[in-house]
Amino acid sequence: MQRDGSAKLYDEAQQHIVGGVNSPSRSFKAVGGGAPVFIKRGQGAYFWDVDDNRYIDYLAAFGPIITGHAHPKVTEAIVQAAQNGTLYGAPTEHEIKLAKVLKTAIPSMDKVRFVNSGTEAVMTTIRVARAFTGRNKIIKFAGCYHGHADLVLVAAGSGPSTLGIPDSAGIPPSIASEVITVPFNELEGLRVALERWGDQIAAVMVEPIVGNFGMVMPKPGFLEGLCKMARNAGALVIYDEVISAFRFHYGSSQTFSAFPDQEAIRPDLTALGKIIGGGLPIGAYGGRADLMAMVAPLGPAYQAGTMAGNPASVLAGLACLEVLREPGVYERMERLAARLADGLLESASRHRIPLTINRIVGAFSTHFCAHPVTNYEEAQEADGERFARFFRLMLDRGVYLAPSKYEAWFLTIAHTDADIDETLTAADEAFREMVR
Ligand code: PMP
């Protein structure tokens, strides 16, 4: 497959845009480097690069494009918004509509505030938790990604529960030391951390269903235990549902059928993004009314945004969520994802390639290892070089995966059985090449 156009644009981009990309996750650094693919347009389950190569898209823009590209209803909403002016700096009725839709789907959110990204949403939930509790520290789980704000760009040191070490230059150790990182899917690390720092913990932050070291379900009892232990310590529970909300069903993890006792896993605050903007920039946070009353103009915790709640993002989000309410939408994505995941496993096994797949409804992650993946450590142990090779071979066969072994494959409502067939043929060829 010829990609001279992308190579040329990458050369040019690097002269003007840092690293040639506007988000490091778009670079191919984790899969051997070189030029990323420059995209010209997308339609449904496909996008085309500047060299007119067509790809079946399983990236879905890292999650938001669940309707497929340029869905007519979402496009119409964006056009309508554009025709009426894109920003007023004054409120609109649309914002109330989207807030009501979110509140109905996610009942723990008494009040909502719109922002522009998942990062902002998460960052502000932490501010609200700190303002409310008068405490400074937060606990997070190793491998969970919560955006690029200082406080959450902190990784674990060694040991079961450790004070954070900055994961990025430019984060003062004083800030990192307010973050404690513990392993996902076991309560012991959390218990130790709460025992040691309990009265200083403002919040325990978690992706209730993980999307950032593969797709990982919490083990039975994990979320229940987490919520109970946090509460006993007087800490709030924050769910980062930037990926998980509306991905697996029409709602969030909090009302997902896998968790029978919804009361026991109810968070105090929730951060949202991605799907709720229908492919336009958005974030939102919300939660208990008394906590949200901490936020300006009602309360002393300040948070603002020139672009927040802009009509284009809000109307695109409303249109996207309306599409997701159509009957059978999630069942269809699940059926196709199951076919694809089962086919990949069968093919990998035929070529004697160890492969673990974690699938949740219409999304899954592929880990080149023989062991199950239930936490970050296990995901790290999967073979990254093998993934990189697989990624390249799939790319050359017109299948676009996220360029990282930690990211998920996302089905959209636009994918078809024919796409799955084509992908499985490509994968079988790729696996054959890999063991040659
Ligand atoms: N939280 C989670 C769980 C995410 O996956 C992401 C982005 N991948 C974020 C927060 C940050 O969202 P954004 O990129 O919109 O700032």
Give per-residue pLDDT as tens, 366-412.
999 999 999 999 999 999 999 999 999 999 999 999 999 999 999 99
User: pLDDT-derived band of residue 154, with 50, 70 and 90 as boundaries?
Assistant: confident
CATH of segment(s) 72-324 = 3.40.640.10
Q: Is the pLDDT of residue 356 over 90?
A: yes
pLDDT at 72 over 70: yes
> Of 98, 126, 111, which Cα lies nearest the Cα of 309?
98
Q: Pick the catalytic residue: 240, 285, 330, 406?
A: 240
- The model's pLDDT over 417-428, given as tens digits with 9 standing for 90+, comes to 999 999 999 999
pLDDT at 145: 94
Nearest atom of ligand 1 to the alpha carbon of 62? 8
Q: How far is the CA of 121 from the centre of ligand 1 (A)?
A: 9
The predicted structure's pLDDT at residue 400:
98
Q: pLDDT tens, 241-263?
A: 999 999 999 999 999 999 999 99
pLDDT value, residue 173? 87
Type of residue numbered 400: Y
CB distance 189 to 182 below 8 Å: yes
The CA 135 to ligand 1 mean position distance, Å, reads 24
358: left (phi over 0), alpha (psi -120 to 50) or beta: beta
Residue 13 has pLDDT above 70, yes or no: yes
Does position 269 have pLDDT exceeding 80, yes or no? Answer: yes
How long is the chain?
436
Q: What mean pLDDT is reported for the chain?
A: 96
Question: 242 CB contacts (<8 Å, ≥6 apart)?
Answer: 63, 118, 121, 122, 146, 147, 271, 272, 273, 274, 283
- Give strand pairing partners of 44: 69
| Ligand 1 binding pocket includes 211 (Cβ within 6 Å) | yes
Is residue 283 within 8 Å of 328, Cβ to Cβ?
A: no
Token pair recorded at residue 8: 């040329």
The answer, yes or no, to whether residue 169 has pLDDT greater than 70, is: yes
Share of the chain above pLDDT 70, in %: 98
Q: Which DSSP helix (H) or strand (E) runs through 46? A: strand 46-49
Is 0.90 surpassed by the pTM of this model? yes
What is the model's pLDDT at position 168?
A: 85
- 274 catalytic? Reply is yes
Cβ-proximal residues to 47 (8 Å cutoff; 6+ apart), any chain: 39, 40, 41, 54, 55, 57, 69, 400
167 — pLDDT class (breaks 50, 70, 90): confident
- CB-based burial label for 88 (10 Å; 0-12, 13-18, 19+): exposed
| Local structure of 436: helix, strand or coil | coil
Dist. CA 198 → ligand 1 center (Å): 27
pLDDT band at residue 357 using 50, 70 and 90 as cut-offs: very high
User: What pLDDT, on a 0 to 100 scale, did the predictor assign at position 162?
Assistant: 60
* Whether the predicted pLDDT of 28 surpasses 90: yes
CB of 286 sitting under 6 A from ligand 1: no
ipTM: 0.99
Where does 349-431 show beta strands of DSSP type E?
A: 356-360, 363-367, 399-400, 409-410
User: Reduced to 3 states, what is the DSSP secondary structure of residue 18?
Assistant: helix
In the predicted structure, residue 163 carries a pLDDT above the cut 80: no
Is 407 a pocket residue for ligand 1 (Cβ < 6 Å)? no
Residue whose pair of structure tokens reads 């009942």 in the numeric block: 107
Over the stretch 312-331, which tens digit does the pLDDT of each residue have? 999 999 999 999 999 999 99
Going along 88-222, which residue ranges are E strands?
A: 111-115, 137-141, 154-155, 162-163, 165-166, 179-182, 201-206
DSSP state of 177: T
Give per-residue pLDDT as tens, 200-230: 999 999 999 999 999 999 999 999 999 999 9
Domain regions of the chain by residue span: 4-70+327-434, 72-324
DSSP-based three-state secondary structure for 118? helix
Q: Is the CB of 145 under 6 A from ligand 1?
A: yes
Instruction: Find, among 69, 60, 62, 64, the residue nearest to 282 by Cα.
Output: 64
Catalytic residue (choose from 57, 58, 239, 274): 274
**Identical fold, 4-70+327-434 and 72-324:** no
Has 145 been annotated as catalytic? yes
Look at residue 161 in the predicted model and tell me its pLDDT.
56
Contact 98, 308 (CB under 8 A): no
| Residue 338 CB neighbours (<10 A) | 16
Fold entry, domain 4-70+327-434: Aspartate Aminotransferase, domain 1 (3.90.1150)
Nearest in space to 287 (alpha carbons), one of 138, 99, 424 = 99
Question: In which band, very low, low, confident or very high, does the pLDDT at 166 lie, cut at 50, 70 and 90?
Answer: confident
CA of residue 146 to ligand 1 center, whole Å:
6
